[in-house]
């Protein structure tokens, strides 16, 4: 997968950056600098193209995921993280995802599919990746979700359902709400930074 790796302190988590639809591996680099400038960064570009816009998995329509492709792409990303850990010499069990929109959804899918996929996650405007699946044991995995009360793509009910599912699997889940829509706001980034500092 096309990516950028920036080596940082081995005592800090490796920040796995996952962009939104139409983004690239460059998009969230400033976010990583705000969250933890000393951390290593693995920023990945989605392998799917939708009308020329990079994504991490296919969708059938707005808000309707191609679940078969989601499963394949989730496994692909999971395997890629392991390969990157071998190539760059970082601890595979020390990866914290930071995802926005489509990137947050593939990060959520990693959590839904694999017990030890991520050390933790910051999910900006995620949806429930898939339903009717027994989640792995996520006991004490810290997850921070940010959501907009007026988000037309990801309504509050979706966020509440995701929070409930993650908590049901044992994840230490927190949600930060703001009054805006689907865009990433400075407030939620600052809240994510505060949450991260509490974890690390």
Provide the annotated active-site residues.
101, 151, 182
Q: Name 41's Cβ contacts closer than 8 Å, sequence gap at least 6.
A: 4, 5, 6, 8, 14, 15, 17, 29, 32
Cα angle 31, 37, 38 (rounded to 5 degrees) comes to 140
Helix (H, G, I), strand (E, B) or coil at 54: strand
């Amino acid at each position: 997968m096309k990516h950028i790796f920036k080596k940082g302190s081995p005592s800090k988590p490796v920040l796995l950056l996952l962009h939104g639809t139409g983004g690239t591996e460059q998009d969230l680099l400033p976010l990583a600098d705000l969250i933890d400038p000393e951390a290593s960064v693995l920023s990945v570009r989605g392998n799917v193209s939708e009308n020329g816009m990079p994504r991490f998995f296919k969708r059938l329509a707005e808000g309707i995921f191609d679940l078969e492709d989601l499963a394949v792409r989730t496994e692909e990303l999971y395997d890629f993280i392991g390969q990157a850990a071998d190539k760059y010499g970082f601890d595979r069990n020390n990866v914290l995802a930071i995802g926005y929109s489509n990137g947050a959804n593939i990060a959520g899918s990693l959590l839904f599919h694999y017990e030890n996929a991520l050390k933790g996650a910051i999910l900006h405007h995620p949806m429930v990746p898939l339903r009717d699946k027994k989640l792995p044991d996520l006991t004490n995995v810290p997850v921070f979700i940010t959501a907009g009360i007026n988000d037309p793509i990801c309504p509050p009910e979706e966020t509440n359902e995701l929070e409930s599912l993650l908590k049901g699997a044992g994840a230490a889940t927190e949600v930060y709400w703001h009054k805006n829509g689907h865009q990433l706001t400075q407030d939620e980034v600052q809240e994510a930074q505060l949450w991260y500092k509490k974890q690390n």
